[in-house]
Every structure is written in C-alpha cells, then in structure tokens.
Chain A
Amino acid sequence: MFSYLIRRLISAVVLLLIVSAVTFGIFFLLPKLAGQTTDQLAQQYIGKAPTPADIAAVKKNLGLDKPVFEQYWDFLKGIFAGVDYKFGPEAAKCHVPCFGYSFKTHIEVWPEIQNRLPVTLSLAAGAAVLWVVSGVATGVLSALRPGSFFDRMAMTVALAGVSLPMFFTGALALALFTYQWPVFERSDYVPLLQDPFLWARTLVLPWVTLAFLYSALYARLTRAGMLETLSEDYIRTARAKGLRERTVVVRHGLRAALTPIITVFGMDLGLLLGGALITEQVFSLKGVGAFAVEAINANDLPNILGVTLLAAFFIVICNLVVDVLYAAVDPRVRLS
C-alpha cells in the first residue's frame, strides 16, 4: 500500500509539471509562433500609449526578452520561491506562490484567487455532499425495485436532471424562490466562520440546482452498478450466510457498486473546484469560476494562467485521492 502511494504521488507531480508546461506554452509560446512580438506582450502590461522606453523596461523587468524555456523556469521558480521585481525606483515583491501580476489591475494573481477560493470550495463541497447522498440513495432504492413506480419516477427525474442545463434550472430556481416567493433572499457570500446560518442560506439554491444536475447522473450510475453487483455470486453467498438483507445490500452490494462512482466523483469534484463557471454566473457568486470568466473577457493572461493551473492542480489532486481510495476499497488494484 505504501509503495503504491509513493508511485501515485510521483506520477501526480510529474503530471502537474507537464500540465504547467503545456499551459505556459499555450499562453506564451503559441502567440509567439503566431507572430506576436514581445513588444506587443509587454504593451499589454503597460496599457495605452507606451513609449518605446517603457516597453524596453517592462521587457527587461519581466524577463520577456529571455527565451520561453527560461521564462518557464523563472515562472516555476516564482511559484515556489517568489519573485522580486524592480519596477523603477520601487521594488515589488511577488509572494510565494507567485503567479505574476494581472495585466489590468496590477495586483498579484494568487491573493486574488485566494480571496475567491472559499466561495468555490463552499459551493463545490456543499453540492457534492448533496448530490452524492441523494444520487446514491436514489440509485440504490431504484435498483432494489427495478421497474417499480419509484424506480420509473426517479429515473425520469434523473433524465430531466441530466438534460436540463444549469442556466435554465438555476434561473428557474432564482425566479421561484428568490423573486416569486423570497424564501432565499439574494445576498452576497458570507464566510462560514462569520455566520454559518447566512453562509448556508446564501448557498442553498446554488447547492440544490448544482446537485440536481449531478445527482441525476449518480443515481443512474448507482442503479446500474447495483443491479449488476446484486446479481453477482458473492451476493448469493452473503445471503446464504444468513445476513440481513440490509447488510447484504449495503456491505456487499453497495461497497462493490461504489468503486466506479468514486472515480467519477473525483473527476467531477476536481473540475468543480477549479470553478463552477455557469453556476457562479447565474447566482452572482464571486468565486474562482467568475474570476476565470473575468480574466478571459479582459484577456488578462497571468490571471488566466493562474486559474488554469489551479484547476489542473485540483483535478490531479482529486484523482490522486481517488486512486488511493480505490486501492483502499479494492485490494486487487494494489497489485498493478
């Protein structure tokens, strides 16, 4: 188990390095290949009407005149060690982890993301709990009585959940529960530690709508998995031991049916932690997703790069956790 963990950890680090190199390449190498000059790049940092002297200074300060590989190396170094920029008379310190400065606001990228992270984390975590619990429970109940009224109802609702886009269900939820019947008033995000009740109240609608979208898929996955495992021989063995039906279903059936769900869950959660773009837009939440949208709209390269790397980081970490969980659940995995 321990060597398995080490192997997984190393491959996760390698993967992150590759992702960062590719992302960096996309943002700094591709434009260059397409004909963008370093002057134009430097100009974006300065804003309107720069003098040639300004451009030359920025190029030198940001190292834009260096080869791309060296810039990438500096970028990596900045993440782990921070960077000292010398802008004219003032020295600017970009703190660890340094993803550079925004083109537009000249604020460090990381603290900006850091501010928005709690919103995204709260949104993703709350919704994840909701959709896993509701999806798996629905799936199990459906699988126990396939073809029953409950099963058909649940699967119809699940189909709706999978098919209806967020900007429809989200808007509908807002229209009904915020404007028609103001059960959940519109308010800005309140930190959990400041007021847990307000925190939850602000997030209930986005949680539910987001969970609806995902739990539909989980219900279907769980149902299919349970139907398959419940017909396995080892389920018959479990019954032959004289175990209670509930024990048979949960300890023997669900445990085996859960493994593919863990995989999908890791992916979904990882993606969501990188920012729920549409949900945050619909509910005006200022999370990482909204930050990414702003950055893309403003063509703010350093911000986009930072958000992209963060999203990649979450996906890799979630997959690492999934791999470890998988090995803990299914001992056969550790062999390979």
Chain B
Amino acid sequence: MTDSSEDRAGAQATPAATEAPGKAPRGAAFLDVRDLKVHFPTDDGLVKSVDGLTFSLEKGRTLGIVGESGSGKSVTSLAVMGLHRASRRQRSKVAMSGEIWLDGKELVAADPDEVRRLRGREMAMIFQDPLSALHPFYSVGNQIVEAYRVHHDVDRKTARRRAIEMLDRVGIPQPDKRVDDHPHQFSGGMRQRAMIAMALVNNPELLIADEPTTALDVTVQAQILDLIRDLQKEFGSAVIIITHDLGVVAELADDLLVMYGGRCVERGPAEKVFSAPRHPYTWGLLGSMPRIDRDQTDRLIPVKGSPPSLINVPSGCAFNPRCPYADLPEDNLTRTVRPELRESGGGHFSACHLPQEERERIWTEEIAPRL
C-alpha cells in the first residue's frame, strides 16, 4: 500500500506532484495506480466514474475492491486493462489521467497498441457472466488457443495441447474431449473455469476478476474462489478481485479497498478493515451483509438512500447524504470539504471528517455489538 499524498480534490494529475518524496519514480510496487481519473463525457454531463484513486498491489497478494454498483470499481479494473473505451466512439472522448504502473511500465500515457500487447499476457481478466463473456460460435478450446497464440508464436497443435493442459489445471474433467465443446455445452461453473483457464493461459502476472462468482450458483461460488486462490499460490500472480459481496473478499483478499462515488473511502489490510473499519460507509456495508452467526430475528440494516450520481457527486464527503453521522463534525465540514485519506496505523487508511477516536468509539460501542 502506498502512502497518502493523494486525493487532493480537483487537482489535475501531474506525474511528479503525485509522488511522495523518496519514492522510486517508476512505480514502487508491482502494480501502482496513482490519482487515477476516468471521466466519460455524456449528453447529461461529465460522468466521473473514477475520480482520483490511488492504490498499489504486490505480486502474490490479493486486493479486494468493494462497493455498490456505480461506485467505479469495474471502470477501475477496465482502465487498468486499457479496456475503458467501450467502443471506438468513446475512444476520442473518454478522459483518463493519473498513472498506472505495471511492473515498471506506465500505461495511461502509453501507446494503445503497447497496452494491447500487455493485455492477455501480463494482465488478464475474468468477467461476471461467463456465458456472455465467451463467444457462442467458437469452441472453448478454440478461444483458449486464440488467447495463447496472440502472444506466442506457436502452431495450432502446440497451442491446443496447452489449452487442454489449462482446462485440466482448472479442474475440467476429460479436458481432451471437452476442449472441442462450445460454451453452451458447459455448465455455469465450468464456463467460469474455462474463462479462468483462458485468462491464465499466458501466465499473466496480474489477474483481475470482476465479480467472478456473481452469476454462479452458491455451491459453485466457493469452488471458483478456491480455484482462484490455489492458482494464485501456484503462479504467484497479483490478483484484484472486484465484488459487492464482502463474503467473497473476506475469503480471498489480503488487502481491501472500499470505493464510494468513484473514490476510495477506506483501504488497508483486510483483517484490519474487517475487525476495525474506520468509515461509516464500510460500517453500512458490514451491517447489510447477511451472516450465518447472527441471530435470525435480527434484521439486516441497509445503507439508506441510493448511490450518488457520478455526474453531480455530493460536495464535501460524497457519502454525506446517506451518513448518519454527517452532522457530527463542526462547521458543516462534511458538506463543504472533501475528506482526505488519513492513516490510522498499519497501512489502514480512511477518509472521514470525524476524529479517529470518535469513530473508534462509535464502532466499538454502537456498530460492532449490533453486527
């Protein structure tokens, strides 16, 4: 995790200014995202999907990014992959600034073709719904072979052997037969396994999983998560797992990043964020999560209101319209000044105007007992 010279509201990203003194200039961590902004101009106004996000990730570690729909978590991952331009039409319009350092290479200002060559080889991605993410007309093997041959100059036979090997590795029975099946002949869990095989066929060092279990049966979800964990151990890659399901990150993530309204509101080691969350929004997320060890008669506590519009993000703290503690800080601070991320020790950051001690007290006395 990097330190906190970030989130200066409205500041335009200039490479030199975003770096803390004494830090290596070419991205200290394996993946180093600094002050990332992704803005989409639309007819209704500028959509600030990601608005000044900073995080980093080392190889062999897993970062969980959580947040509601529209919090900017998916756009973040697409931006890292260089896939945020959904179509050519948007290509000319979308504005991305900041820095993304992957293994010493900067990707935001890089030539799109250079980023394309990294895609699939150094960074790979698996998506939410494997049925729609796999091409219905090509066999599973064909699609894996294609992914392999983009980056490796080998003949079809070799690539096919590699595809079968990968299918076997992700736990698909009779891979030498199933390799010629089409996606519609696979079950949901097998499809996601095939997607994972396709993503890992080139041994990427960064794997991004965007809601990898959301479209799957509950029974299959755990298997897929186990598979991702095992493969990560085996390949030693860095993993970003994007989800709205805190249960998923609790299982997998080493570090946690909570997004709200295109920004990070809290991040830190997963056990710290879970055991002592420091942001009211994180409290809300934890309160709305069903838990097996909780008394059945207790009701879930939803976070009131709906996610903010990314066009008119509330001034001050973006969470203030939904925050039950918004009135506690003096001078109406929550509604006028955007809170900075501040460290509360051990790499645990949160962005809230309430004093640390006050938040610690609210958590231990009011929130934690109810969970």
Contacts and interface: CB of A to CB of B under 8 A. Distances in A.
A66 interface: no
Contacts of B137: 255-256, 329-331
A230 B88 CA distance: 10
Contacts of A252: 135
A240 B135 contact: no
A144 interface: yes
* Interface size range on A against B: 20 to 34
A237 B136 contact: no
A1 interface: no
Given A236-B127, A241-B198, A242-B151, A256 B184 contact: no
B184 A241 contact: no
A147 interface: yes
A241 to B, nearest CB: 4
A256 B136 contact: yes
Interface in A282-335: 329-332, 335
Contacts of A232: 132
A240 B83 contact: yes
Contact of B119 (A233, A234, A241, A329): A241
Interface in B150-204: 150-151, 182, 184, 195, 198-199
Nearest to A331: B182
Contacts of B184: 331-332, 335
Nearest to B131: A233
A242 B118 contact: yes
A145 B88 CA distance: 7
B125 interface: yes
A243 B182 contact: no
B87 A242 contact: no
B23 interface: no
B117 A330 contact: no
Interface in A220-264: 230-234, 236-244, 252, 255-256
B81 A332 contact: no
Contacts of A147: 89
Contact of B150 (A233, A241, A331): A241
Interface residues of B, number: 32
B120 A230 contact: no
Given A239-B119, A240-B81, A256-B137, A233 B89 contact: no
Contact of A330 (B136, B139, B150, B195): B136
B146 interface: yes
Interface string B185-227: 0000000000100110000000000000000000000000000
A241 B146 contact: yes
Contacts of A335: 184
B133 interface: yes
A335 B184 CA distance: 10
Interface string A119-155: 0000000000000000000000000111100000000
A242 B135 contact: no
B136 A240 contact: no
B292 interface: no
Nearest to B181: A331
A147 B87 CA distance: 13
B134 interface: yes
B121 interface: yes
A147 B139 CA distance: 35
Contact of A242 (B88, B89, B133, B150): B150
B233 interface: no
B86 interface: yes
Contact of A144 (B81, B88, B118, B136): B88
A230 B119 contact: no
A234 B134 contact: yes
Contact of B83 (A146, A239, A331): A239
Contact of B132 (A146, A234, A332): A234
A332 B119 CA distance: 30
Contact of A236 (B117, B124, B133, B151): B133
Given A147-B89, A332-B182, A242 B117 contact: yes
A329 B182 CA distance: 12
B133 A231 contact: no
Interface string B107-131: 0000000001111110011010100
B147 interface: yes
Interface in B293-343: none
A232 to B, nearest CB: 7
Given A233-B133, A240-B120, 12 more contacts: A145-B88, A234-B135, A237-B127, A237-B134, A240-B83, A240-B125, A241-B150, A243-B116, A243-B150, A331-B137, A331-B139, A331-B184
Interface of A: 144-147, 230-234, 236-244, 252, 255-256, 329-332, 335
12 contacts: A144-B88, A145-B88, A147-B89, A230-B87, A231-B86, A241-B119, A241-B146, A241-B150, A242-B119, A242-B121, A243-B116, A332-B136
